[in-house]
Structure 1
Amino acid sequence: MTEFPIASDSPLLALPDAVASVPGSPDEGLPWHYGDPLGEQRAAVDDAAVVDRSTRFVIAITGEERLSWLHTISSQHVAMLPDGTSAENLSLDLNGRVEDHFVQTDLDGVTWIDTEPNRGTALLGFLTKMVFWAKAEPRDGNELAMLSLLGPRTADPGIPAALGLDVLPTEPYAAVALPGGGFVRRMPWPTDHAYDLLVPREKLTEVFTALTAAGARAAGTWAFEALRVAAVRPRLGLDTDERTIPHEARWIGGPAEHGAVHLDKGCYRGQETVARVHNLGKPPRHLVLLHLDGSADGRPEPGEPVTAGGRTVGRLGTVIDHYELGPIALALIKRTITPETPLVAGPCAAAIDPDSVPQENGVQAGRQAIERLRGR
């Protein structure tokens, strides 16, 4: 299992009924729930809820060449990213394996990047090392802290008014500045109505309290993670390992496809692997949703093997209880394993959700070209 550093405790842990996340987890230092984790999930889907995600590591990049420079060292097409928009992005190693996943927003001359707390220092170090002669200046941007706002009632006038806005952004990845500093951006996951708020760290409690006073329910990381798993959205270090390539984790696609790897660009580290898999092959594994037997004595742990007939066929990722689906998990499973295959994960019987299996039956363009050359 991936180790995560101890994070500074969020001030929101001092709120009534706040229960801290499990020690050693990636969300250590944040509220796990406020006494009703399943009800908090339901509010995030049907009503409005606000989640503390303030341990996300934030990086700020200034300089007139920040976008063209970042374009050359990452997987997403961001050279012409318009002001007030965002994109998901990856940093890959030379073999095309995923090292970092991050969300970036360009607003008012600054590119803001947020990533996993245990990867922020390494990512900042990599970016700083890669500047060379480019007019780009990465720095620690943790003066901003993240909250996530979920649910259809976020459109009610009181919610944006609590942030000093008339309305919230309507298009995925769109971002607008907040009057008190920071910004809000629309996200396409984990629900249909999802926003990330990056607010001045010293105003974290103030903004959170204003949103709950406006009708948003306080929800913990349990709620966010359960909805993320149900949406089959991976989290670096939990649902990926050191061998994961972008195709396995559903990160292929530009911003319009809600992906992190644009296929119409090249010249970035790891691009050869991405192009080879896309044009000629298929990924050895794919990310799927597992349903776990809730009657089992205990739950499996992230990183444990998933087996079929005693043979390891995959790696378990996030394990969580969902308010409707019960115990569920993400897993990287060998592509040849079908949803009908009985699986075991730790003490639990497990089954692949058939709706979560990627459709990979088409013939790639590169393979078609080879067949034409062979006269087939």
Structure 2
Amino acid sequence: MLTSPFLSLPGAVAAGGIDEGLVAHYGNPLVEQRRLEDGSAIVDLSTYGILSVAGPDRLSWLNSLASQKLDRLAPGESAETLFLDPNGHIEFDVRVLDDGATTWLVTEGAESPALHAWLGRMRFMLRVELADRSVDLAVIGTMAADASSVGAVVEGEVPLVWSDPWAQGVRGGWQYAIPDDHPAADWALSLAIVTRERLTQLAAEVADGRRTAAGILALEALRIAAWRPRLSTEGDEKAIPHEFDWLRTAVHLDKGCYRGQETVAKVHNLGHPPRRMVMLHLDGSDTVLPAHGDEVLAERTRPESEAGWRVCGSVTSSAIHHELGPIALAVIRRGVPADAPLEVRTAETGETVAAAQVVVVPPEAGATAGIPRLPRLGVRR
């Protein structure tokens, strides 16, 4: 793993776990959140992987594999796509940008080698050239109005800046979340691809006060507040797009065939996702913040013989937000009522924390075809 120059900045505290190699914070995560949110701070994401796909067949080839429609992606246009297994489970979450000659794929670092290897096996006789550019290029995150101002690489006349479509959703997608005032409206993340030399220069600009940096904890808090799923935290081997409302940005429901499409269509039109993502407002957890994998429990009152607290899911991400306080994303069983009291049991201390559920994916998500239910044979009404 390449060492980020941001780790050498004054006050930098290294992140661990899936974010190893990045800076967790520089001493004040809450202030860093505000600065990142207002566009005045940048966040180092240089552990992310960057793949390039060149050749005349690149877009049609990727389109045949991806959940998103990519065959007409215009130069400079951003997209998000998922690569699924044959049963519709999510294998890769990929940010996609085309410059007119090359398509750029950005993933989290842990996913990049496996994605590179898988795409290499899927080329067959097509005119595509696949390369890993992570050694000479890096990713910087920003919420500034002009993300290219960090010194993004320019190919042709296109700055290599990916703008997250989560804020608005995309044509061909579907939103399960009910509220009109979706918190994604405040999520304006862009990812700028810069050279490794420029990455070092940006760290130097932070060191001498010309720029401000935020750590990955700040970005995570804003992401959770925006209900923005992240595969490395929210996902597991059973994850399907519907459970995270990912159809709003990463799935085109009217495109041609791709691997896993049958599951996507069947669950959306006829069934329901078995689990659903929720956001939790955590009570009294300023000092006891739940960790990834901590159990979520729901109160069950009926039947009386089964009354009590039952495990219904697990925490996937948690943070202390500068306005909302302690919050988390969790994945719970679909059948848990939207108004059910919830608690989180922390594995580290064994303590329980009361949690107020904010519905992201409602229990009734799916079954959009509206086919009438027929009575079972042999049942009289």
TM-score category, normalised to shorter length: 0.7 to 0.9
Is 1:366 aligned to residue 372 of structure 2? Answer: no
Residue aligned with 1:366, SS: coil
Find the counterpart in structure 2 of residue 144 from structure 1: 137
Do the aligned residues in 1 keep the contact of 2:13 with 2:25 (CA within 8 Å)?
Answer: yes
Residue aligned with 1:227, SS: helix
Give distance in 2, aligned partners of 1:182 and 1:141. Answer: 16
One-letter amino acid of the structure 2 residue matched with residue 80 of structure 1 = R
Is 1:314 aligned to residue 313 of structure 2? Answer: yes
Post-superposition CA distance 1:159-196 (Å, at most 9, x none): 865638xxxxxxxxxxx837999622332457443321
Residue aligned with 2:247, SS: coil
Is 1:204 aligned to residue 199 of structure 2? Answer: yes
One-letter amino acid of the structure 1 residue matched with residue 130 of structure 2 = P
Residue aligned with 1:234, SS: coil
Residue aligned with 1:42, SS: helix
Give distance in 2, aligned partners of 1:366 and 1:181. Answer: 41
Residue aligned with 2:233, SS: coil
Do the aligned residues in 1 keep the contact of 2:99 with 2:156 (CA within 8 Å)?
Answer: no
1:234 Cα deviation (Å)?
1.1
1:140 Cα deviation (Å)?
0.7
C-alpha spacing 1:363/1:119, structure 2 compared with 1 (3 Å): closer
Find the counterpart in structure 2 of residue 291 from structure 1: 281
Give distance in 1, aligned partners of 2:232 and 2:338. Answer: 25
Post-superposition CA distance 1:261-317 (Å, at most 9, x none): 110023211111000011101111111111222347633221232122432211210
Under a length normalisation based on structure 2, what TM-score does the superposition of the two structures give? 0.82
1:344 Cα deviation (Å)?
2.2
Matches within 5 A, 1:95-244: 95-142=87-134, 143-151=136-144, 154=145, 163=151, 177=154, 183-188=160-165, 191-210=186-205, 216-244=211-239
1:348 Cα deviation (Å)?
3.5
One-letter amino acid of the structure 1 residue matched with residue 310 of structure 2 = R
Give distance in 2, aligned partners of 1:92 and 1:193. Answer: 26
Post-superposition CA distance 1:42-70 (Å, at most 9, x none): 11223511000110111111111000001
C-alpha spacing 1:200/1:297, structure 2 compared with 1 (3 Å): closer
* More divergent stretch after superposition (333-342 vs 91-100): 333-342
Unpaired segments ≥5 residues, structure 1? 1-6, 165-175, 254-258, 372-376
Do the aligned residues in 1 keep the contact of 2:317 with 2:329 (CA within 8 Å)?
Answer: yes
The percent identity for this pair of structures is 42
One-letter amino acid of the structure 2 residue matched with residue 293 of structure 1 = D
Is 1:64 aligned to residue 53 of structure 2? Answer: no
1:241 Cα deviation (Å)?
1.2
Give distance in 2, aligned partners of 1:8 and 1:117. Answer: 11
Residue aligned with 1:228, SS: helix
Is 1:78 aligned to residue 51 of structure 2? Answer: no
1:236 Cα deviation (Å)?
1.0
Find the counterpart in structure 2 of residue 282 from structure 1: 272
1:110 Cα deviation (Å)?
0.7
Residue aligned with 1:238, SS: helix
Would you say how many aligned residue pairs link Structure 1 and Structure 2? 342
Is 1:301 aligned to residue 300 of structure 2? Answer: no
Give distance in 2, aligned partners of 1:40 and 1:179. Answer: 34
1:32 Cα deviation (Å)?
0.9
Unpaired segments ≥5 residues, structure 2? 167-183, 299-307, 375-381
1:338 Cα deviation (Å)?
2.9
Give distance in 2, aligned partners of 1:311 and 1:267. Answer: 40
Give distance in 2, aligned partners of 1:102 and 1:350. Answer: 35
Under a length normalisation based on structure 1, what TM-score does the superposition of the two structures give? 0.83
Give distance in 2, aligned partners of 1:306 and 1:211. Answer: 40
Find the counterpart in structure 1 of residue 355 from structure 2: 351
C-alpha spacing 1:60/1:366, structure 2 compared with 1 (3 Å): same
C-alpha spacing 1:180/1:12, structure 2 compared with 1 (3 Å): farther
C-alpha spacing 1:338/1:141, structure 2 compared with 1 (3 Å): same
Give distance in 1, aligned partners of 2:356 and 2:130. Answer: 42
* More divergent stretch after superposition (305-314 vs 78-87): 305-314
Find the counterpart in structure 2 of residue 43 from structure 1: 35
One-letter amino acid of the structure 1 residue matched with residue 236 of structure 2 = D
* More divergent stretch after superposition (75-84 vs 300-309): 300-309
Find the counterpart in structure 1 of residue 80 from structure 2: 88
C-alpha spacing 1:350/1:233, structure 2 compared with 1 (3 Å): farther
Q: Which of residues 15, 19, 25 is equivalent to 2:13?
A: 19
1:217 Cα deviation (Å)?
2.2
Is 1:249 aligned to residue 252 of structure 2? Answer: no
Is 1:331 aligned to residue 330 of structure 2? Answer: yes
Give distance in 1, aligned partners of 2:366 and 2:82. Answer: 26
Find the counterpart in structure 2 of residue 271 from structure 1: 261
Structural RMSD (CA): 2.8
Give distance in 2, aligned partners of 1:86 and 1:187. Answer: 7
Give distance in 2, aligned partners of 1:121 and 1:350. Answer: 40
